[in-house]
Amino acid sequence: MRKKIIAGNWKMNMTPSEAVALVNELKPLVACEDADVVFCVPAIDIIPAVEAAKGSNIEIGAENMYFEEKGAYTGEISPNMLVDAGVKYVIIGHSERREYFAETDETVNKKVLKAFEHNMIPIICCGESLKQREQGITIDWIRQQIKIAFLNVTADQAKTAVIAYEPIWAIGTGKVATTEQAQEVCAAIRCCIGEIYDEATAEAIRIQYGGSVSASSAPELFSQPDIDGGLVGGASLKPDFGKIVNWH
């Protein structure tokens, strides 16, 4: 039985002091034993958020990471910096990073390998555009993203990974994918992992849905056999996140 994992992606929101206030506000609301709860926060909020989350069930994650150890990479954050700050999860390859910051499947793969090397759990994002969905190439596209993201990743590592299926057209639009659409793609992702590795790895890996998840859409989405939780943007900044975490 896979444990659900519900993660907030704060994106570029919340100053350090606002982050502390939000963690303190949400802490009692997201208390939950049967799901992992992660707040992925801007880099500058990580240290105060880790401090504020102490003693609670909240794990703090990062929204991005560089794939080199250290050196002349102005503005980047290294895996060691994240680990030392208390980070366990890191979002890799969010569609906003692919669109605005030129991330590619290849850089995603490098970051995924680096995250595992440092014993962090990558939340690996994939998803199709509206045009790709209309062209009927969604599954082919996602399979390609997954195959490249997992190049040289071992089965033991893959078993611990989290994949977030986030259709780009559903992000921040209020236009949530139908339960059938979300389940269909998450099942196809699990099948693809089974082809790359084996049945045990496919059964172990956790697959989230993301894109306009709300307290009202979460219960049906999270009840699907291949959806193991959500990656939540806008609603993770509000008390509603407590309802999403405690969806059943």
* Binding-site entries for substrate: 9-11, 172, 212, 233-234
Catalytic residues: 94, 166
94: closest CA among 12, 160, 159, 38?
12
Q: Does 42 bind ligand 13P (CB under 6 A)?
A: no
Only segment of 50-58, 106-114, 145-153, 210-218 that touches ligand 13P (CB under 6 A): 210-218
Q: Does 232 bind ligand 13P (CB under 6 A)?
A: yes
For residue 198, the minimal CB distance to ligand 13P (Å) is: 29
Q: Does 127 bind ligand 13P (CB under 6 A)?
A: no
Beta 162-165 vs 121-126: how paired, if at all? parallel
- The nearer residue to ligand 13P, 53 or 237, going by C-beta atoms, is 237
Strand locations in 10-157, DSSP E? 35-41, 58-62, 89-92, 121-126
Residue 239 token pair: 């008390």
Q: Does 217 bind ligand 13P (CB under 6 A)?
A: no
218: closest CA among 5, 2, 1, 3?
5
* Burial class, 105, CB count within 10 angstroms (exposed 0-12 / middle 13-18 / buried 19+): middle
DSSP labels, 97-121: HHHHS---HHHHHHHHHHHHHTTPE
- The nearer residue to ligand 13P, 150 or 241, going by C-beta atoms, is 241
d(CA 4, CA 229) in angstroms, rounded, equals 5
Longest dimension (CA), the chain: 48
d(CA 66, CA 64) in angstroms, rounded, equals 7
| Contacting residue, 78, 145, 157, 212, with ligand 13P by CB under 6 A | 212
Only segment of 17-25, 103-111, 191-199, 205-213 that touches ligand 13P (CB under 6 A): 205-213
| Contacting residue, 93, 229, 233, 242, with ligand 13P by CB under 6 A | 233
Q: Does 166 bind ligand 13P (CB under 6 A)?
A: yes
For residue 197, the minimal CB distance to ligand 13P (Å) is: 25
- The nearer residue to ligand 13P, 172 or 219, going by C-beta atoms, is 172
Binding site for ligand 13P (CB under 6 A): 9, 94, 166, 171-172, 210-213, 231-235
